[in-house]
Amino acid sequence: MSESLHTLAAMPTERQPGCPFDPPKELREAREHGPISRFPFPDGHEGWLVTGYDLLRVVLGDQRFSSRKELLRHHWAMDLAGIDIPPAPPGEFLLTDEPLHSRYRKPLVGKFTVRRMRQLTERVEQVTAECLDAMEKAGPGVDLVTAFAKPIPAVIICELLGVPYEDRGSFQDNIDKFMSGETPDEELFAAYTAVQTYLAELVVAKRANPTDDVLSDLTDSDLSDEELKGMSVILLAAGLDTTTNMLALGTFALLQNPAQLAALRNDPALTESAVEELLRYLGIVKTGIRTALEDVELGGQTIKAGTTVVLSTNTANRDPERFTDPHLLDLRRQDGTHLAFGHGVHQCLGQQLARVEMRVAFAALLNRFPTLRLAVPADEVALRPETADIYGVKSLPVTWDA
Ligand code: HEM
């Protein structure tokens, strides 16, 4: 492997045909040259791209690399020159740094612990069984995204937060719009505003009439309604779209790897490691971004203060220096921690919930439909574009023997 400093000319906009699960070849090639590459942004800014596992983890763990929204002045797909980017709205803590970040994250941590999430297992099992019953009734032949991958995480996050699931017309399609990577800017803004407005009203209602859920609990604190609205936006959006895409894309990946699928069917005890391996292999939250707050030495390079650093998490999850046969889906893999949930202060708050949902849902799906298969050729499965923040399938037509 050559360690010469490589330059990535542009962020790839497509994956290789026939390789829906692999990071684009330009990113894999960048990793082959070394863990860090130069990356000139379209507006001329001299930024950096990190593709190596160890280095990426260092950046995520180092608070000299900021997540603050107002500092993110360069984008690989948009020219932001002359645009004054405001700070994240109050409460949207993913795009803040300490100490503000902790103000929002701290009151939530105890509500998403392993123990709390395991207590939800029975409810996740019930909701999953209801979806599978409805699939059986409607099929053979359904879109797995609408019948299974969407409703399970949606019902659960709604119940946990205290967002009425029957109101989903007010937020689900709009959240899809801002995650899909395909919505024009004006529509994106309208979708985001509609979700904010819905949640602002809900927060006021919870404060007036608290119920037994996370949002009501949060009203019993010094957080303002404006802050609670921002926190709700982040929690609802993150809780809906991510697990949905893991369930649907994960099923697609299993169906395309029959030996692995058979191993999982024959040995349900594999489910935990299978879920971790699917998280690593699929790396649906593909890319992160940070801004250096001061000059930082990283991988033999000086990252100047104010420079934007792009983090290719899915490439790092395929780093050959970290994982044996990294491009292989191996559900028995034991060689370590992936970065699919991030690392450091912003590490995914909902990871234990996502794990419970995926363990229960994959196991139940395979158990209920032993002959589950794609209903269309694999190359006809519609995939999200590379520009989407979260990768996945748009729909997954499946069928089975009645
Ligand atoms: C398989 C599903 C999921 C994946 C792959 C995933 C991935 C991630 C990643 C990579 C980050 C870190 C982003 C960064 O450092 O910039 C993150 C943050 C976050 N995730 Fe998840 N997530 C998943 C499910 C969930 C669920 C179900 C929730 C439910 C509430 C959730 C809530 C959050 C929140 C609130 C943050 C922000 C944390 C912070 O800034 O402190 N996630 N997630």
> pLDDT (tens digit, 0 to 9) for every residue of the chain, 402 residues total?
445 699 999 999 999 999 999 999 999 999 999 999 999 998 899 999 999 999 999 999 999 999 999 999 888 887 787 788 899 999 999 999 999 999 999 999 999 998 888 889 999 999 999 999 999 999 899 999 999 999 999 999 999 999 999 999 888 989 988 787 788 888 888 999 999 999 999 999 999 999 999 999 999 999 999 999 999 999 999 999 999 999 999 999 999 999 999 999 999 999 999 999 999 999 999 999 999 999 999 999 999 999 999 999 999 999 999 999 999 999 999 987 999 999 999 999 999 999 999 999 999 999 999 999 999 999 999 999 998 889 999 999 999 998
Tokens 């994959």 -> residue:
362
Question: From the CB of 353, is ligand 1 less than 6 Å away?
Answer: yes
Cβ-in-10-Å burial (0-12, 13-18, 19+) of 1 comes to exposed
> What pLDDT score was predicted for residue 1?
44
Tokens 């990426």 -> residue:
56
Strand partners, 37: 6, 49
CA-based torsion, 200, 150, 11, 32: positive or negative: positive
Ligand 1 atom 40: residue of nearest CA: 94
Cβ-in-10-Å burial (0-12, 13-18, 19+) of 171 comes to buried
45 is written with which tokens?
């800014």
CA 370 to chain centroid, in Å, comes to 28
Alpha helices in 34-97 (DSSP H): 53-61
Question: From the CB of 356, is ligand 1 less than 6 Å away?
Answer: no
Distance 402 CA to ligand 1 centre (A): 37
> What pLDDT score was predicted for residue 3?
54
CA 81 to chain centroid, in Å, comes to 28
Q: Could you tell which of 67, 101, 113, 242 is best to mutate to test the pocket of ligand 1, judged by most ligand atoms within 8 Å of the CB? A: 242
Which helix (H) or strand (E) segment holds residue 337: the answer is none
Atom of ligand 1 nearest to the CA of 246: 1
Tokens 């409703």 -> residue:
151
Which helix (H) or strand (E) segment holds residue 287: the answer is strand 287-292
Q: CA angle, 57 as apex, 331 and 260 as ends, to 5°? A: 10
User: Which backbone phi and psi does 7 adopt, to 5 degrees?
Assistant: -120, 130
Contacts of 66 (CB under 8 A, 6+ apart): 97, 290, 291, 292, 293
The closest alpha carbon to 292, from 37, 41, 63, belongs to 63
The pTM for the full model equals 0.96
Contact 37, 30 (CB under 8 A): yes
Atom of ligand 1 nearest to the CA of 358: 1
Tokens 């800017």 -> residue:
185
CA-based torsion, 67, 39, 15, 386: positive or negative: positive
Question: From the CB of 285, is ligand 1 less than 6 Å away?
Answer: yes
Question: From the CB of 383, is ligand 1 less than 6 Å away?
Answer: no
Question: From the CB of 163, is ligand 1 less than 6 Å away?
Answer: no
3-state secondary structure of 76: coil
Contacts of 249 (CB under 8 A, 6+ apart): 21, 282, 284, 391, 392, 393
> What pLDDT score was predicted for residue 184?
83
The closest alpha carbon to 50, from 307, 298, 386, belongs to 298
CA 162 to chain centroid, in Å, comes to 22
Ligand 1 atom 41: residue of nearest CA: 346
Contact 292, 309 (CB under 8 A): yes
Strands 142-143 and 296-298: unpaired
Question: From the CB of 326, is ligand 1 less than 6 Å away?
Answer: no
Question: From the CB of 234, is ligand 1 less than 6 Å away?
Answer: yes
Distance between CA atoms of 54 and 59, rounded to whole angstroms?
9
